[in-house]
Amino acid sequence: MNSFLLKTSNLATGNSLPFTGNWVNTTLSRNALVVAYVSGGSANLNLEGQSLIDGGSLFKAGGAAESYTFYTTTGVNGYMSPAFLDSPIPFIRLTSTSTGNAKVWAYISYQN
């Protein structure tokens, strides 16, 4: 691990609903803070992790067990309550199945 790791990555950059964000590699992090902002309506937001289990196509992109939801917040309009993680999760993304005209911005700051 890198003892000097302090990094911020975007999880959403004005994404329209519904959306599935890109994976962010957080393998080297020990803890993280996620902040999101929703404008133009409200949205339900999910933070998803990706498993490191090597079980064939089931766990690969598009497989039934590609990801797992570890945090959900509902009815976000404006800033969500920040989410703090203190367990290592190798890859994280933000998703929302909500519909409407809202747009979402979010970032993750993580450190070792």
Residue located via tokens 């367990």: 87
- The pTM of the full predicted model, rounded to 2 decimals, is 0.84
Q: What is the pLDDT of residues 61-102, one digit of tens each?
A: 665 566 788 889 999 999 999 999 888 888 899 999 999 999
**What percent of the chain clears pLDDT 90, i.e. is strictly above it?**
58
pLDDT value at residue 70: 87
Residue 61's nearest CA partner among 70, 72, 48, 73 is 48
Q: What is the rounded CA–CA span in Å between residue 111 and residue 18?
A: 29
CA-based torsion, 47, 26, 12, 104: positive or negative: positive
Q: What are the extents of the domains in the chain?
A: 6-111
- CATH architecture under which domain 6-111 falls: Sandwich (2.60)
Evaluate if residue 58 carries a pLDDT over 60: no
Cα separation, 33 vs 29, in Å, equals 11
